[in-house]
Amino acid sequence: MTAYLIYFGLPVLLLIIGFPIFLVLLITSIVAVTTVAGVPTDAVQTYMFGSLDNFPLLAVPFFVLAGEFMAQGGIARRIIAMVMAIVGGIRGSLAVTTVAASELFGAMSHTAIGTVVAMGRMIYPTLKENGYNERFSVGLIASSGAIAVVIPPSIAMILYAVSAEQSAVQLFTAGILPSILIGIIDAGFVMTYARMKGVPLGTRARWDLIWKTTKDASWAIGTLVVIFGGIYGGVFTPTEAAGVAVVYSVFVTMVIYREVDIFRFWKILVDSAFLISQILLIVTSAGIYSWLLTTSGIPQQLVASIDALHLAKWELLLILNVGLLAAGSFLEPPAAILILTPLLLPIVEAVGVNAIHFGIIVAVNLSLGMYTPPFGLNLFSSQAIFNAPLSRIYLGVLPFLLLNFAALLIITYIPQISMVLLHH
pLDDT band at 405 (very low <50, low <70, confident <90, very high): very high
| 340-378: pLDDT as tens digits | 898 899 889 988 899 999 999 999 999 998 888 877 778
Burial profile 26-65: b = 16 or more Cβ within 10 angstroms, e = fewer: bbbbeebbeebbebeeebbeebbeebeeeebbbbbbbbbb
pLDDT tops 80 at residue 299: no
Question: What's the pLDDT score for residue 424?
Answer: 60
User: In angstroms, rounded to a whole number, what is the distance separating the alpha carbons of residues 292 and 86?
Assistant: 52
pLDDT band at 8 (very low <50, low <70, confident <90, very high): confident
3-state SS track over 373-387: CCCCHHHHHHHHHHC
State how far Cα 268 lies from the chain centre.
Answer: 21
Average pLDDT, the chain: 85
395, 401 contact by CB (below 8 A): no
Mean pLDDT score, 409-420? 95
Q: What is the DSSP secondary structure assignment for residue 354, as one 8-state letter? A: -
Mean pLDDT score, 178-183? 92
Host H or E run for residue 107: helix 93-109
pLDDT tops 80 at residue 51: no
87, 135 contact by CB (below 8 A): no
List of residues 6+ apart from 125 with CB closer than 8 A? none
Distances (CA, A) of 133 to 127, 224, 368: 8, 33, 22
Q: Kindly write down the DSSP assignment for every residue of 212-257, as one continuous string.
A: HHHHHHHHHHHHHHHHHHHHHTTSS-HHHHHHHHHHHHHHIIIIIS
Residue type at position 254: M
C-alpha dihedral over 268, 75, 128, 146, to 10 degrees?
A: -70
pLDDT tops 80 at residue 253: yes
Q: Where are the domains of the chain?
A: 2-423
Asked which of 41-50, 322-331, 402-411 is least confident by mean pLDDT, the reply is 41-50
User: In angstroms, rounded to a whole number, what is the distance separating the alpha carbons of residues 273 and 269?
Assistant: 6
User: In angstroms, rounded to a whole number, what is the distance separating the alpha carbons of residues 163 and 157?
Assistant: 10
Q: What is the pTM of this model?
A: 0.83
